[in-house]
Amino acid sequence: MLAAEQLGIFPRGVAHAHSYRQLCEFFQHSTETVSRYFNLVLRAIVSFAEEFINLPQGEVECHPFVRSNAIFYPYFKNAIGAIDDTHIPVVVSNNLQNRYRNRKGFTSQNVMVAVSFDRQFVYIASALEVLDLSSFEYG
């Protein structure tokens, strides 16, 4: 199998939430072959995590920017970063477009990230389907 095809299996399976059977049909390979190369690419991507994702080590000190700013310190003295989410535009097959259509009308993937005050990614999560927490009532 060509390297380009191996690399194509993983994002199609993850970004489009395809089952192994759907991937087998699309790439015309057995489930054993698709599984082997999906996991091979997954392990390669995970091996990059240490280089590109910096997790806090042990007790986290207050960032110097926050510590030296009297306005921010009372509110952010225990914060290790900021969490935000965004929608990244995606192209999906016609039968999946409704699952990925956002409130603005285009298809997207919801991605949540946590960023340190030094602008380093410390956590990344993507949801296959968006869950709108504002619709829940707490009480």
Q: Are the C-beta atoms of residues 135 and 99 closer than 8 Å to each other?
A: no
pLDDT, tens digit, 9 for 90 and up, residues 91-120: 888 888 888 888 888 888 877 777 777 777
d(CA 35, CA 19): 11
pLDDT, tens digit, 9 for 90 and up, residues 5-40: 888 888 888 777 678 888 889 999 998 998 888 888
> What is the helix, strand, coil percentage profile of the chain, to 5?
45, 20, 40
